[in-house]
């Protein structure tokens, strides 16, 4: 047998998964691994020496996981685990991509349960951080918040390595065992699954009154066969025009956050201190996620060099560490404004201003929710799916770029925004959030990005949902394929019906992700086995 897998390859895959996904370092870098299967498919493809095949599988999975988001840490499935299982199974056993993708769906669902287990275990790290805070030991807090949480995450890695190791044997057994009708059925499931991902993405991106943009994207690609990237250019221009034409004010709000009004000047702290706090926040924003206090340890870690600088007395430092080790959970990118605000309040307090612990905690916990509402909507609900969509055509061609680029592009776009927000938070204090929201720019960006996103989703649906029917009628002994008749009525009517059907199921009948997945499997298997859909 040409295929197979060596122990070294298994260990390397485990290591790659651990470093890039399990450790979750760099929120918007590892965020691409957290929400997309493409980067992990590339890692496995490189190790097993078949990048083109890996990226093809990544592309299939990417379409079905396109709209996945995780507000408050609640994510329905783990795309990276699915990618790891499907890619290694397919390359090491020669299993077809359709079958490998079908095998990966339960892996993705189970993988999320493993993640939740680490979030529970990590609760004990935060209790250790409490102990170090009591001693005023900021290095200890760093150990408890950044180093120690890496250990439970090994739990994630070991079962996956076992699965990967057994892959070739299990894979061949499955291939030999599986009857023909099931193969046909699973092939149809594979064709419908992208419609599930696109429906979920449309649900999380779109306001209902913007849905015509989805149809526009869909029919432009159906009738004119435009590739996704040029389509995105049209979409961008259209989104811009929509905003301009519906804008009630004379001029568009400025893209700059600058206000001219700065209540805080760098007095004790320097720009470097703020930058450092932001980069600690960005690097470890999700790395010690736990169900007890979520990002409390990271928040304290980000502020601890500043706390050490501001407060000379040990008891003041201890008090400061303790007041930040309380429940905190926000979307880490837009949430960067909040460490900035807290830093400004700490600086004022250290200079003698009468700011109570409650005032600082109140601002933090008061702002974290509204900011997360905006951040989850924009960063993960719209921007990341758009970035990923643009690389799907590369993945379909088997190119490594589709796995390599998303984490880099996502980080490159978001780091400057996060840094600017953190600085704004410091300069304006708690007024910064009101200022940002009053500018109206946030809602305009959300609306523009929604339009672009929906338009691209329409294009993706037209390009990659390929359900068709093999049914043919004999009219006067001449076979008349039903598909041709359907095409002459409305091109792409079956893909469109598929995606609207799933969208309706999710939105009107409140179908959960899990139930929708089961439904797609059931329908696909039946329709495929009977031969209505191919």
Partner 1 sequence: MSKIELIRVDFRMIHGQVMVKWLKATGAQIIAAVNDDIANDPFLADIYGMAAPSNVDIKVFTKDKVIDYFNNNNSDNSKVLVLFKNVKDAHYCYEKGFPMEHLQIGGLGSGPDRINVHGPITLNAEDAKLLKDMNDKGVKIEFQQVPDDSKASLDKILKKYDFGLN
> Rule CB under 8 A: which residues touch partner 1?
69, 71-74, 76, 116, 119-120, 203-204, 207, 209, 291-293, 327, 329-331, 362, 366-377, 381, 430, 433-434, 437-438, 443, 446-447, 507, 510, 512-514
Q: Which residues pair with 294 in a beta bridge?
A: 328
Residue nearer to partner 1 on the CB measure, 4 or 366: 366
User: In degrees, to the nearest 5, what angle opens at C-alpha 146 toward C-alphas 126 and 323?
Assistant: 45
Rounded to the nearest whole angstrom, what is the least distance from the CB of residue 361 to partner 1 in the complex? 12
Among residues 133 and 310, whose Cβ is nearest to partner 1? 133
Distance of CA 74 to the CA centre of its chain: 12
Closest contact distance (angstroms) between CB of 29 and partner 1 is 20
CA dihedral defined by 196, 201, 204, 209, rounded to 10 degrees? -100
Q: How far is the CB of 481 from partner 1 (least distance, A)?
A: 39
Query: Closest approach of Cβ 118 to partner 1, in Å?
Result: 13
Which residue, 175 or 437, has its beta carbon nearer to partner 1? 437
Query: Which of residues 120 and 530 has its CB atom nearest to partner 1 in the complex?
Result: 120
Residue 278 contacts residue 418 (beta carbons within 8 Å): yes
CB of 325 to partner 1, least distance (A): 12
**CB nearer partner 1, residue 207 or residue 397:** 207
Helix (H) or strand (E) holding 481: strand 478-481
Closest distance between partner 1 and the C-beta of residue 112, in Å? 10
Q: What are 385's two structure tokens?
A: 């799916």
- Cβ closer to partner 1: 6 or 512? 512
Q: How far apart are CA 398 and CA 443, in angstroms?
A: 37
CB 72, min distance to partner 1, A: 5
**231-232-234 Cα angle (round to 5):** 65
DSSP SS3 for 247? coil
Please state, in angstroms and rounded to a whole number, the distance separating the CA atoms of residues 277 and 47.
Answer: 36
CB of 237 to partner 1, least distance (A): 21
Give residue 352's region: left, alpha or beta (phi > 0; psi -120 to 50).
left
Please identify, using beta-carbon distances, which residue of 16 and 335 lies nearer to partner 1.
335
Task: Give the CA distances from residue 408 to residues 123, 450, 476, 522, in Å, rounded to whole numbers and listed in that order.
Answer: 30, 22, 60, 38
- Number of alpha helices (DSSP H) and beta strands (DSSP E) in the chain: 24, 2
Q: What share of the chain is helix, strand, coil (3-state, %, to 5)?
A: 75, 0, 25
- Which one, 155 or 178, has the nearer CB to partner 1? 155
Judged by CB, which is closer to partner 1: 400, or 410?
410
Shortest Cβ 138–partner 1 spacing (Å): 23
For partner 1, the closer of residues 107 and 446 by Cβ is 446
Residue 376 Cβ, how far from partner 1 at the closest point, in Å?
A: 3
Q: Which is nearer to partner 1, 69 or 188 (CB)?
A: 69
In the complex, what is the shortest distance from the CB of residue 122 to partner 1, in angstroms, rounded to a whole number? Answer: 12
CA atoms of 360 and 371, how far apart (whole Å):
16
Query: How many C-beta neighbours within 10 Å does residue 314 have?
Result: 10
- Select from 67, 52, 103 the least CA-distant residue to 395: 52
- Tell me the HSE value of 181 on the side-chain side, using a 13 A CA sphere: 7
Burial of 199 (0-12, 13-18, 19+ CB in 10 A): buried
């Amino acid at each position: 047998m040409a295929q197979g897998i060596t122990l070294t390859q298994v260990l390397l895959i485990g290591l790659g998964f651990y470093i890039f996904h399990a450790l979750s370092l760099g929120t918007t870098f590892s965020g691409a691994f957290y929400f997309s299967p493409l980067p992990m498919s590339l890692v496995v493809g490189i190790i097993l020496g078949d990048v083109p095949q890996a990226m093809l599988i990544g592309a299939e999975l990417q379409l079905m996981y396109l709209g996945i988001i995780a507000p408050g840490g609640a994510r329905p499935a783990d795309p990276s685990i699915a990618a790891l299982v499907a890619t290694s199974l397919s390359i090491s056993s020669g299993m077809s991509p359709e079958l490998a993708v079908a095998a990966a769906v339960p892996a993705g669902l189970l993988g999320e349960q493993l993640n939740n287990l680490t979030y529970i275990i990590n609760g004990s790290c935060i209790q250790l951080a409490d102990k170090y805070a009591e001693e005023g030991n900021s290095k200890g807090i760093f150990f408890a918040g950044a180093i120690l949480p890496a250990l439970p995450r090994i739990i994630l890695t070991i079962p996956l390595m076992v699965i990967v190791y057994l892959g070739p044997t299990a894979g061949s057994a499955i291939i030999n065992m599986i009857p023909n009708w099931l193969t046909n059925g699973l092939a149809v499931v594979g064709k419908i699954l992208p419609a599930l991902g696109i429906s979920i993405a449309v649900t999380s991106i779109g306001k209902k009154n913007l849905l015509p943009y989805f149809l526009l994207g869909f029919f432009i690609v159906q009738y004119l066969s435009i590739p996704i990237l040029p389509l995105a250019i049209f979409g961008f221009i259209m989104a811009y025009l929509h905003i301009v034409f519906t804008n009630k004010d004379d001029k568009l709000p400025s893209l700059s956050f600058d206000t001219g009004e700065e209540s805080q000047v760098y007095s004790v702290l320097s720009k470097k201190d703020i930058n450092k706090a932001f980069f600690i926040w960005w690097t470890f924003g999700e790395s010690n996620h736990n169900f007890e206090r979520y990002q409390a340890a990271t928040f304290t870690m980000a502020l601890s060099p500043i706390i050490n600088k501001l407060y000379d007395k040990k008891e003041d430092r201890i008090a400061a560490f303790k007041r930040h080790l309380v429940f905190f959970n926000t979307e880490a990118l837009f949430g960067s404004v909040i460490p900035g605000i807290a830093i400004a309040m700490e600086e004022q307090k250290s200079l003698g201003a009468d700011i109570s612990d409650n005032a600082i905690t109140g601002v933090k916990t008061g702002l974290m929710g509204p900011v997360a509402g905006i951040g989850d909507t924009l960063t993960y609900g719209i921007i990341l799916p758009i970035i990923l969509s643009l690389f799907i055509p590369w993945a379909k061609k088997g190119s490594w770029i589709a796995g390599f680029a998303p984490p880099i592009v996502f980080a490159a776009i978001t780091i400057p925004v996060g840094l600017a927000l953190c600085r704004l938070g410091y300069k304006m204090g708690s007024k910064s959030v009101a200022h940002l929201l009053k500018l109206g720019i946030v809602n305009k960006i959300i609306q523009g990005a929604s339009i672009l996103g929906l338009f691209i989703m329409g294009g993706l649906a037209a390009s990659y949902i390929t359900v068709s029917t093999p049914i043919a009628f004999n009219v006067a002994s001449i076979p008349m394929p039903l598909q041709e008749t359907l095409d002459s009525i409305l091109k792409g009517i079956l893909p469109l019906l598929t995606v609207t059907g799933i969208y309706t199921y999710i939105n009107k009948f409140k179908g959960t992700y899990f139930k929708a997945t089961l439904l797609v499997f059931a329908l696909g298997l039946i329709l495929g086995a009977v031969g209505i859909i191919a």
